[in-house]
Amino acid sequence: MHYTSLGKTGLKVSVAGLGCGGNSRIGLGRIPEAESIALVRTAIDLGVNFIDTAENYETEPIVGKAIKGLPRDSVVISTKSLLGSGAGPKSGADMAAALDASLKKLDTDYVDIFHLHGLSPNAYDRAMGEVVPALLREKEKGKFRHLAVSETGPRDTEHKMLERAVDEPLFDVVMLAFHMMNQNARRPVLEKARANRIGTLCMFAVRNIFSRPGLLATTIAALAAEGKLPPELAREKNPLGFLVHAAGAQSIVDAAYRFARHEPGIDVVLFGTGSVDHLRSNIASILRPPLPAGDVARLNKMFGHLVGVGLDLPDHVTAGKLAAKS
């Protein structure tokens, strides 16, 4: 495993971070809980010491059982809580209560990183004025070590919230959406984060666009129809096939992880999984060397202008919304 310093936090973290949300949610609902717990332990055995979960992922209890018995300082635990719920906006007291609930589910006295989860640009001022002061009081009690904020990629495609957050001294860590075809966080977020020594966590490195059969081709076709990509690219049978060659990537997914991992300013690339084989494959990709410089330059030239591509909500969230409407 490779490790890096997470911004100014002083935490030494694995560059591959186990994400317990997304589509896989470490197998929640698809494999027995004992297998999910074993999956987290396998990740830890392979050197992964950064584990990211959240209240609404429903995987905090699994993480808690997986780390039970381990030295607490051997793992870096990141969790989150949304500022809103079905009952309406959360107050500072509500968020403090959510933190306590997360600690109970994780069966730990503290978390290393606590996020304002999926904070929208419109909620930023209220969060800073009403919620953050309450959370900082909880931090003084030792309930978490570093305050963080994650963006809502599909609803904030231009990173407006994080553009403000990376200039805020109170935030030690930010989570952003970034991948081969969605690179527009580079200047407003990553460059500022590096300058301000803010730790960065990359989500959406792969998700559906690079892993679901046919979705990449249909996405490129739609972008070409909108005039955002050249028509000839849409006519190619394998538009990103140039990435897979002896000196390059082993697959498109491999390329996607390596592109994100070696982007200047990204500290941890989060990956999701529901099986041991997938777990090992993802880690192996993140640990491989950078893609050839020519391939990276070609990706940047082809897709550097795109905004909000491939930022799909997790399947279980989409399904829940569709069910609610039916």
- The domains of the chain, with CATH numbers, are 3-325 (3.20.20.100)
213-242 pLDDT tens trace: 999 999 999 999 999 999 999 999 899 999
43-60 pLDDT tens trace: 999 999 999 999 999 999
Which among 114, 111, 107, 110 has a CA at the least distance from the CA of 80?
Answer: 114
State the pLDDT at residue 87.
64
The proportion of the chain whose per-residue pLDDT surpasses 90, expressed as a percent, equals 91
Q: Report phi then psi at 149, rounded to 5.
A: -145, 135
Bridge partner list, 5: 12
Average pLDDT, the chain: 94
6-57 pLDDT tens trace: 999 999 999 999 999 988 999 998 999 999 999 999 999 999 999 999 999 9
pTM flag (> 0.85): yes
173 by DSSP, 3-state: which? strand
> What angle is formed at CA 106 by the lines to CA 101 and CA 108, rounded to 5 degrees?
95
Residue with tokens 């002083």: 10
pLDDT (average), residues 90-102: 96
Tokens of 1: 């495993």
Which residues in 103-142 are b (16+ Cβ under 10 Å) and which e? bebbebebbbbbbbbbbebebbeebbebbbebbeebbeee
Tokens of 139: 């931090």
239-261 pLDDT tens trace: 999 999 999 999 999 999 999 99
pLDDT (average), residues 108-135: 96
- For the beta carbon of residue 158, count every other beta carbon within 10 angstroms: 13
State the pLDDT at residue 296.
98
Residue with tokens 């904030």: 156
